[in-house]
Amino acid sequence: MPQAPVTTAGLCDKVAIVTGGAGGIGSEICRALADQGARVVVGYNTSAGAAETLAATLSGKGHFAAPAPVVDSDAMRALATRVEADCGRADILINAAGTTRFVAHPDLDGLDDAVIDTILSVNVRGVIAATRAFRALLARNGNGLVVNISSIAAVTAMGSNIAYCASKAAVDNLTKSLGRALAPDIRVVSVSPGLVDTEFVRGLDEAWRNQQAERTPLKRLAFPCEVASAVIAAAVHLPFTTGSIIAVDGGRPLA
């Protein structure tokens, strides 16, 4: 009879790629992965300086920043080639790159085609493109992992705009489809936070932020480190989990 795998602490000798790695959530994920012993590739689109600074300050050795424009499939394939050449392997892909813009849900005219196309290209097509680019490397050792950073907007249909909500619903659906399609060599999981207390969110209207916290059963916003902890849980502690959505939302959908 097959034996259950032994879960060991940490991610020593593993290589993790984080798209959107210099963002408020992505940077905490990079730190958590490095703290667990992984070698981290901090992927960025336009934040080269922030990504390079982050890579230089992560615990451990061998980390580096690299362009990861998820809307450019050729560039993502080039990144996979570089990771293979420099690291010899890829074990974990975190699809944390994302974009949005605040547009009131009834304002369909304000949600112009360019905004819709950008949101869907980055948030949905980008997940497919990055996963496709790294599939062969992730599957090589038979225990690869893809973690997609989603949002409770996928479930509540409440978020920065209706296209954003739809994009995150698509990400959760992709997680399930890819979890089936890439098994058994690659697991795929969504981490789905509520509103996260990032620098970006702290720059929004304080009364609105307080209202969102009050509407959450646990009476606060999520911390970026809690999202990162869910990623670590998927990587280290949940080896028999795939196609699942891990909520980090303080119970918001219950309200």
10 part of a folded domain: no
Phi, psi of 254 (to 5 degrees): -80, -20
Among candidate residues 36, 79, 71, 33, the one with its CA nearest the CA of residue 55: 33
Confidence of residue 4 (pLDDT cuts 50, 70, 90): low
Three-point CA angle 247, 250, 255, nearest 5°? 105
* Single-letter amino acid code for the residue at 163: A
Residue 255 lies in a domain: no
E strand map for the chain: 15-19, 39-44, 64-67, 92-95, 144-149, 186-193, 244-248
- State the average pLDDT for the chain: 94
Q: In which domain, by residue range, is 149 found?
A: 15-195+223-245
Looking at residue 204, its pLDDT comes to 73
User: For the whole prediction, is pTM greater than 0.75?
Assistant: yes
* CA–CA distance, 195 with 200 (Å, rounded to integer): 11
pLDDT digits (tens, 9 = 90+) for 210-228: 888 888 999 999 999 999 9
Structural domain includes residue 129: yes
Structure confidence at residue 174 as a pLDDT band (50, 70, 90): very high
Say how far apart CA 86 and CA 63 lie, in whole Å. Answer: 11
Contact 34/61 with Cβ under 8 angstroms? Answer: no
In contact, 30 and 57? CB cutoff 8 Å? no
Average pLDDT of the segment spanning 121-141: 98
Residue 205, domain member (yes or no):
no
Per the model's pLDDT, the better-predicted residue between 8 and 31 turns out to be 31
Q: Is 170 helix (H, G, I), strand (E, B) or coil?
A: helix
Residue 204 belongs to a domain: no
Mode of pairing for the β-strands spanning 15-19 and 186-193: unpaired
Of the pLDDT bands very low, low, confident and very high (cuts 50, 70, 90), residue 200 is confident
| CATH number of the domain that residue 44 is part of | 3.40.50.720
Residue 3's pLDDT band (boundaries 50, 70, 90)? Answer: low
**Mean pLDDT on 59-85:** 98
216 or 137: whose pLDDT is higher?
A: 137
Q: What percent of the chain has pLDDT over 70?
A: 96
What the block records as the tokens of 208 is 């609105």
Domain count, the chain: 1
Residues acting as catalytic residues: 164
